[in-house]
Amino acid sequence: MPQRSGEVVIRLLENVQQKTIKSLILQTVAAGTQVYTDEYTIYNRLEEWGFQHKTVNHSAHEYYPFLGRTQVN
């Protein structure tokens, strides 16, 4: 696993849409941060919001492509 610092933030949202996640992300993630998500379209605007964004394709068994691996060992 890559080493990183900081805290994990978990929030349960009743309504998971871009408009409901945007403020949470902007409040908790530093601008310019590299964010890895799955391919759920809710995350399509992360770059517009000031983040670097890469996706993983779980249906193709991608979990850690940034480490050169596609499987969790």
Q: Average pLDDT across each block of 10 residues of the chain; the chain has 73 residues. List them in order.
A: 66 87 91 88 94 85 60 47
Beta strands in the chain (DSSP E): 34-37, 52-55
Location of structure tokens 């403020």: 23
pLDDT at site 65 = 59
What's the rounded Cα separation, in Å, for the pair 58 and 47?
21
Please tell me the pTM assigned to this model.
0.71
In single-letter form, the type of residue at position 56 comes to: V
Instruction: Answer yes or no: are the C-beta atoms of 36 and 18 closer than 8 Å.
Output: no
